[in-house]
Amino acid sequence: MKTFNIKNFLALSAIALGVSVGSSYAVTPSDAQGKMPQNHRFELNGEKLHHEGMGPFHPRLIESLKLTDEQKTKFDDLRKVQKEAWEKRAQGFKNLKELREKQLESGDINFSALFAEEDKIQAEASNDKQTYRSKLVAFWDSLTADQKAQVIKDQKEHKDHFKDRQRRHGDEHFKKMEPRDKQAQPLQKEVKPAQ
C-alpha cells in the first residue's frame, strides 16, 4: 500500500493548475459572440469615437453646415493639408528610428545626426502647422454668420459636455492631466516645538 506523499501531491496539483490556466488563455472569443479585435476602432451608437480631422469640425457638424461648393473646396484643402502633414511627420519619425537603428547596429552613435534629423522633423511640422492655420482661417472666413454661430454653439455644447463629465466623474481623473506643479499639494502637519 502506497503512502500519501505531499511532494507528489503538490507536483500533480501544480501541473493540473498549469494546464487549466494555460488552456483558459488559449480560448479566444468567436465573432458570433460580438467581440471586437483589440485593434478595432470603437464605435458608440454607430458613430466612430475617433473622427477624421482635427479641430472643431467633426464630420457630423460639417454635414449639418450645408457647405457651398467653394466652402467644400476650402474644407477639402484643409483636410488634405492636415493629412499630408501627418504623413510627413510619421515618415520623419520612421526615418529617425531607422537612422537610430543603423547607428546602433554599427556600434557608433552620432547624436549630432540624430538631433539634426529631429530638428528637420520639427521644422517641417512648424511649417505644416502654419499652412494648416492659414487654411483653417480661410475656411472659417468663408463661413456665413449662421454657420459660424452653429460651430460656436457646437463648441459650447462640447465644452459643457466635458464639464458635466468632469462633474460626474470627479476631478481626480482630470487632475492627472495637469502638470504636477499645478496639482494641489497635500497639507503637511505643522510640528509644534516642544515647550
**How do residues 131-166 score in pLDDT, each as one tens digit?**
999 999 999 999 999 999 999 998 888 888 878 877
**How do residues 26-44 score in pLDDT, each as one tens digit?**
545 544 455 555 555 555 5
Contact 125, 85 (CB under 8 A): yes
Pick from 100, 92, 94, 74: nearest CA to 128: 92
Q: What pTM did the predictor assign?
A: 0.55
In this prediction, residues 177-195 reach a mean pLDDT of: 59
What is residue 23's predicted lDDT score, i.e. its pLDDT? 55
Residue 100: strand, helix, or coil: helix
* CA distance to 87, 116, 118, 124, 128, per residue, from 90 (Å): 5, 17, 12, 12, 13
What is residue 12's predicted lDDT score, i.e. its pLDDT? 65
What is residue 1's predicted lDDT score, i.e. its pLDDT? 46
pLDDT grade for 100, boundaries at 50, 70 and 90? very high
What is residue 180's predicted lDDT score, i.e. its pLDDT? 59
In this prediction, residues 82-96 reach a mean pLDDT of: 92
**How do residues 29-87 score in pLDDT, each as one tens digit?**
544 455 555 555 555 555 554 445 556 677 788 888 899 999 999 999 998 999 999 99
